[in-house]
Structure 1
Amino acid sequence: MTRIILMTAASALMLGACTTTGNTERNAAIGAGLGALTGAVIGNNVGSGDGETGAIIGGVIGAAGGAYTGRQQDQNMGERTQIRRGANGEPLEYDSYAGRYYFRDTATNRTYWQNGQLRTR
């Protein structure tokens, strides 16, 4: 039982660390792992002692909470959940004054916001 819980939590944490798509997916995976672990401990020590049901409930609640938190973080950064690259694969840079990401077109040396609009100063 404990082995299954630890394997589930470790898998969720590893998968969450590998994502490059944004905070939503990463936080959902981490939330699921931590929620399952917490739910199993609480379920095992309270009531009928059913750790498996507690792990399932905790995992679902943790994933939902983590996904919501990650989505809020992505929105606060001014972007949707997506890979942080420009239109042609250029790395994005963060403009702290505007609170938005932009990329530099190497052919024209112009900068564009992440949504493709020309960035003016």
Structure 2
Amino acid sequence: MLKSLLVVSVAVVGLSACGATTRGAATGAAMGAAAGAVIGNNTGSGDAETGAIIGGVVGGAAGAYAGCRSEGGCRWTEDNPNQSRLYLDERANRYYYVNNRDGCTYWRNGEYRAC
């Protein structure tokens, strides 16, 4: 159990340079695993490992969604009213959009570009 928490902690630190979606997923998974282990150990059959696995999966999914939403809406879609039309950055040869909520620009895949 301690080894698993150490691995997750190292992964979270390693992912700190990644996008908000990845960071959110890693943070959510770590927090979910820790909470699941505590709850699993203190209730039911006392199985901390199963609780950590379930908590990690649920926390990872929730964290990825939250991180994605904080990053401009995951990626560009035609039907999202918070996003402008696509513009071409000729220097980077990539398309980007403006998030109408925060005024920042994001690449088409949802990666942060600039504010």
Q: TM tier, shorter chain?
A: 0.5 to 0.7
Matched, 1:44 2:46: no
Distance 1:98 1:35, change over 3 A: closer
- The correspondence for 1:62, drawn from 59, 73, 93, is 59
Question: Structure 1 stretches (4+) deviating beyond 3 angstroms?
Answer: 86-89
* TM-score, structure 1 normalization: 0.60
Whole-Å Cα distance in 2 between the matches of residues 27 and 97 of structure 1? Answer: 20
Shift of 1:26: 0.8
Matched, 1:80 2:75: yes
Distance 1:101 1:38, change over 3 A: same
Query: Counterpart of 1:80 in structure 2: which amino acid?
Result: R
Whole-Å Cα distance in 1 between the matches of residues 101 and 47 of structure 2? Answer: 52
Cα offsets for 1:16-50 (capped at 9, x unmatched)? 3132xx21111001111111111001101111100
1:101 matched residue in structure 2? 105
Alignment coverage as a number of residue pairs: 91
Query: Counterpart of 1:4 in structure 2: which amino acid?
Result: K
Distance 1:30 1:87, change over 3 A: farther
Structure (1 or 2) with the larger CA radius of gyration: 1
Whole-Å Cα distance in 2 between the matches of residues 28 and 49 of structure 1? Answer: 26
Whole-Å Cα distance in 2 between the matches of residues 37 and 5 of structure 1? Answer: 10
State the Cα RMSD in Å: 3.0
Q: Which runs of 5+ in 1 are unaligned?
A: 103-113, 116-121
Q: 1:36·1:55 contact (CA, 8 Å) conserved in 2? A: yes
* TM-score, structure 2 normalization: 0.63
